A and B are shown apart, each in its own frame.
Chain A
Amino acid sequence: MKNSKTSIPKASKMEKRLTEFLEMIAGLWQFQWQFFKQIFVPPYEIEQIRKHMDELGIKTLPIVSVTGFIIGLVITMQMHPVMVRFGAEAFLPGSVGISIVRELGPVITALIFAGRVSSGIGAELGSMRVTEQIDAMEVSGVNPFKYLVVTRIFACTFILPILTVYVIFIAFIGSFIAVVLVQNMSYIYYLDSVIASVEFGDAIPGILKTFVFGFIVGIVGSYKGYTATNGTEGVGKAATTAVVVSSLMILIFDMVLVKVTLWLWPTI
């Protein structure tokens, strides 16, 4: 009897969570559909897109700079003893470079971006929703989805690849400093080694997938904020869940995109 009593609320709780999850997937799908429908309809809000790109880039620049530098430095320091063990010290700059360009640079930047930007968009739009600012915009004859959502998604999609290229560059600086510290290598040898190992084909899939990651950050943050309910509590929830969902989706899509890339171009 006791078991059956406790299992009912658990089941209903799980059912509720599952329903919420499925509703979110359906909502995200509709949101994405609406985005693609409205993106080609004027006005194109170029000024808003430029403004958001500026803001998002500047907002994220300090944290991605520090992260990129530390990642490059730490990965190199961690890999050095391993490479020494295999007698492959000379390959250290190349192997670190490939890791950064192919995976670490894009994914770490996307995760930092998700943490910083997705929550920001969720909180900003959520607060606009619960204080009726979105309704006010709609009543004034302006399409709020176009003005607030499409512009943010667009800005996220195009600013993240630029930030990723920058982070990769900063990570190389960190890596170079580590190599100098642990191996006393000249910068010419370091550069030669990186250029010889990292090919153009390594960079392209890594950079291309950041367009998808940027889109995920924009759409999840906007969806969570735009559909926020229940006052300030709802705004907080929108900001938090935006980070969790977008980070998780970035990792899942990364896995899928790596598989697809290797399937399409096995020699890469």
Chain B
Amino acid sequence: MNIVVDIKNVSKAFGSHVVLDNVSLKVEEGENMVVFGQSGTGKSVLLKCMVRLLEPDSGEIYIEDTNVLNLSPKELNNVRKHLGFLFQGAALYDSMSVRENLEFPLIRHFNFTPKEREDKIKSVLEKVSLEEAIEKMPSELSGGMKKRIGLARSIITEPKLMLYDEPTTGLDPITSKEISSLILELQKSLKMTSVVVTHDLLCAEIIADRAIVLNNGIVQHEGTITELTTSSDPFLRNFFSHEIVEDQNRRN
């Protein structure tokens, strides 16, 4: 299997607060990697370092054999064109309609004809089951709909690597399960590699092939969800018991 993401000894601190301390991680092609951890352990920081929204203090980050930390702004943008990123709040452009949001990356980076663009927009909206929302503004959409449209915007360029920052946060359990299933479905149909930062055990159970647990800036545990949730390690037992209780509360 090819390694799509290879993070080597990445460290990041904000002032004296060390958030990531020599973190290393490999993600194989077609794999769904879930990153767990308590709030403030640097999960989102790790994700943002991967696309250089934040600059790591040290280390190397390879995406398909290219060290993104050594790239010029122009070269970096070329790499970013082939990545998808779903933000926690979906980050839809407020001033644009759903159609314009989806059109935006296509117009900027590809030379599609208007007909081809329209077909692509309709196709991704169909994938997220929101064909009727095409002319709506983001303010007219619910939280779950925003996440779906955010997902549609991220996959419209057919990225090989998708990064998800808390894709189910703030959603009710049913919508959360729907979004998780949708992520899995898209990953399979588009043959994408995914890195998912989440707190949601239900979401992780649905989509994860493998997971890591970040604690105090280091990768403390790695394995499948079953291995992690059934581990006898005191930290993992404590961490997942909270998650399981929270998850059961949500399910109830």
A residues lining the B interface (CB < 8 Å): 124, 127-128, 131-133, 135-143
Contact = CB atoms under 8 A, between A and B. Distances in A.
B106 to A, nearest CB: 10
Contacts of A128: 93-94
A139 B53 contact: yes
Given A136-B85, A139-B53, 19 more contacts: A128-B93, A132-B88, A132-B89, A133-B91, A133-B93, A136-B87, A136-B93, A137-B93, A139-B51, A139-B80, A140-B157, A141-B78, A141-B81, A141-B105, A142-B77, A142-B104, A142-B105, A142-B108, A143-B77
22 contacts: A124-B95, A127-B94, A132-B88, A133-B91, A133-B93, A135-B48, A135-B53, A135-B87, A136-B85, A136-B87, A137-B93, A139-B85, A140-B80, A140-B85, A140-B104, A140-B157, A141-B105, A141-B109, A142-B77, A142-B104, A142-B105, A142-B108
Nearest first, the 10 A-B pairs at minimum CB distance are A136-B91, A141-B81, A141-B80, A141-B77, A132-B91, A139-B85, A132-B87, A140-B105, A133-B91, A139-B51
A108 B44 CA distance: 47
Contacts, number: 51
Nearest to B150: A136
B83 interface: yes
A60 to B, nearest CB: 18
B92 interface: yes
Contacts of A143: 73, 77
Contacts of B81: 140-141
Nearest to A135: B53
Contacts of B51: 139
Nearest to A136: B91
Contacts of A142: 77, 104-105, 108
A242 B92 CA distance: 25
A195 B148 CA distance: 64
Contacts of B80: 138-141
Contact of B94 (A133, A137, A139): A133
Contacts of B83: 139
A140 B87 CA distance: 12
Interface in B56-114: 73, 77-78, 80-81, 83, 85, 87-89, 91-95, 104-105, 108-109
A132 B44 CA distance: 13
Contacts of B77: 141-143
Interface string B106-129: 001100000000000000000000
Contacts of B92: 133
Contacts of A132: 87-89, 91
Contacts of B87: 132, 135-136
Nearest to B92: A133
A142 B104 CA distance: 10
Nearest to A134: B91
B108 A131 contact: no
B53 to A, nearest CB: 5
A137 B51 CA distance: 12
A138 B53 contact: yes
A127 B85 CA distance: 19
A133 to B, nearest CB: 5
A100 B51 CA distance: 53
A142 B53 CA distance: 13
A131 B53 contact: no
B68 to A, nearest CB: 12
Contact of A140 (B48, B94, B108): B108
A136 B85 CA distance: 7
A46 B167 CA distance: 35
Contacts of B48: 135
Residue with the greatest number of chain B CB neighbours at <10 A, chosen from A124, A133, A135, A136? A136
B93 to A, nearest CB: 6
A136 B109 CA distance: 15
A142 B219 CA distance: 32
B126 to A, nearest CB: 21
Contacts of A141: 77-78, 80-81, 105, 108-109
Interface in B22-73: 48, 51, 53, 73
Contacts of B109: 141
Nearest to A147: B108
A137 B83 CA distance: 12
A96 to B, nearest CB: 42
Contacts of B53: 135, 138-139
A127 B87 CA distance: 15
Contacts of A131: 89, 91, 94
